[in-house]
Chains A and B, each alone.
Chain A
Amino acid sequence: MNLTLKIWRQKGPQEKGQMVEYKVTDISEHMSFLEMMDILNEGLVAKGEVPIAFDHDCREGICGMCSLHINGEPHGPDRGITTCQLHMRTFKDGDTIYIEPWRAKAFPVIKDLIVDRMAFERIQQAGGYISVNTSGNTQDANAIPIPKLDADLSMDAAACIGCGACVASCKNSSAMLFVSAKVSQFALLPQGKVEAADRVRNMVKQMDDEGFGNCTNTGACEVECPKGISLENIARMNREYLKASII
């Protein structure tokens, strides 16, 4: 298939960027979206042009590195996938595809389609962990009885790969789905409850300081999340935050 691509090009963080049009031809419908990008880049290199910078790593939907806002949606029009799992059969011959970086003040563009997602790291560092003494006589986690439902919900929250699609899809650039998943995965388990109050306070404070917007419950994040993280987590984070603030 032949496609017209409108891609955001930006030389560096301080440079002014713009949408640039490219044509690609003979794209197989069996290719992944990133393979199509590779072919485009090979063509650019052959012509002596600078290839388009985009994030990718595992290419099997696990690492959360690949981003790309494709035709107005994070990871493209399909549901429950990352961009590396998006295939060209989703598109039709002659289509025009818009490819943009995640847009949020807290995710500044580094180059072309690559954004700096360190804001998520800093939120994690503010409390997304449990303090365990690993002196050698650590208690076996399996010795603590945990209800199956709590373990399952915690595991569901822990499925978050921190890709940032929630922020990219949100009209407010809110990071609450990400933060709530990280808060929930610990808050649901006895090991995490010990530091639950400090964790939620510190992580929410860091989230606000990073300049993410405020959640207005549109639910776009839940729809666009490649790992199906539920809005229930945001409600849980709100409860945890209220509990931590009042008590």
Chain B
Amino acid sequence: MSVLSSSIARKVAMALSALFLIIFLIIHLAVNLTSLFSAEVFNEASHFMGTNPLIQFAMQPVLIFGVVFHFVMGFVLELRNKGARNVKYAKFNGAASSSWASRNMIISGAVILAFLVIHFLDFWIPEINTKYVLGDMTGMHNGEFRYFEELQHKFVPMWRVAAYVVAFVLLGMHLMHGFQSAFQSMGFNNKYSSCVKTFGKCYSIVIPLGFIIVALFHHFNH
């Protein structure tokens, strides 16, 4: 990992993994949104994503690596950065010069990580179990596709909906700083930067809001 020994290389690696995850979120939301309009389309899309070999055996491992890398590198950097100030200030007015979201990426990140644990237990691990342990690649249950049914079933308990909503709000805050920060880290700071910042803010509101709407929709319409 000597290539990642320099501070700037680490910044860029964080930014690249972040941009990859940002693109992933769009795809994930796009599939989720179909569930608002058509159970059939959602089932077809889910089945395709869940059984297509390219997505399953090429994209999925890359995605998992991207997620793990982003979290591990994030925590490593946070520890190193904490160590760079061995004596704390008696008074530190961080709010005077920077946003809460930018100073607390580790907190929003940790909440998202906790959410991912729940999310994987809810959806991913049962899927993997059905497909690869039980060997059932049909996506069927009693002759019906189970994806939409499972989605509705999972969003019945209020605690899960609440946990998801909280996580998505924190995801929005993480993106609010992270989106434009990723571009800055990669050296992108020019006349188009204000467009990137504006787009980043819209993205940070629209994407988490989309996920929240999906969760609430299925909680109230099952």
Spell out A's residues near B (CB within 8 Å). 6, 8, 17, 19, 69, 71-73, 77, 98, 100, 103-106, 109, 169, 171-174, 176, 204-205, 207-208, 211-220, 223-224, 231-232, 234-239, 241-242, 245
11 additional A-B pairs beyond A8-B90, A212-B84, beta carbons within 8 Å, are A71-B93, A100-B89, A104-B85, A173-B81, A174-B81, A204-B8, A213-B83, A234-B184, A237-B8, A238-B8, A241-B8
Output the least CB separation between A75 and chain B (Å). Answer: 11
Q: Is B56 part of the binding interface, using a Cβ–Cβ cutoff of 8 Å?
A: no
Q: Kindly list chain B residues whose C-beta atoms are within 8 Å of the C-beta of A73.
A: 93, 96-97
B92 touches A214 (CB 8 A): no
How far, in whole Å, are A17 and B86 apart by their CA atoms in the complex? 13
Given contacts A214-B77, A235-B188, A236-B189, contact A172 B84 (CB under 8 A): yes
Q: Kindly list chain B residues whose C-beta atoms are within 8 Å of the C-beta of A242.
A: 8, 12, 186-187
Spell out B's residues near A (CB within 8 Å). 5-12, 77, 80-81, 83-94, 96-99, 102-103, 105, 177, 180-181, 184-189
Residue in B closest to A180 when the chains form the complex, CB atoms: B8
B7 touches A214 (CB 8 A): yes
Q: Kindly list chain B residues whose C-beta atoms are within 8 Å of the C-beta of A234.
A: 184, 189
Q: Which of B11, B177, B180, B189 contacts A214 (CB 8 A)?
A: B11
B89 touches A217 (CB 8 A): no
B84 touches A213 (CB 8 A): yes
Output the least CB separation between A163 and chain B (Å). Answer: 15
Q: Kindly list chain B residues whose C-beta atoms are within 8 Å of the C-beta of A207.
A: 7
Q: Kindly list chain B residues whose C-beta atoms are within 8 Å of the C-beta of A103.
A: 85, 87-89
Q: Kindly list chain B residues whose C-beta atoms are within 8 Å of the C-beta of A69.
A: 89
Q: Kindly list chain B residues whose C-beta atoms are within 8 Å of the C-beta of A239.
A: 187
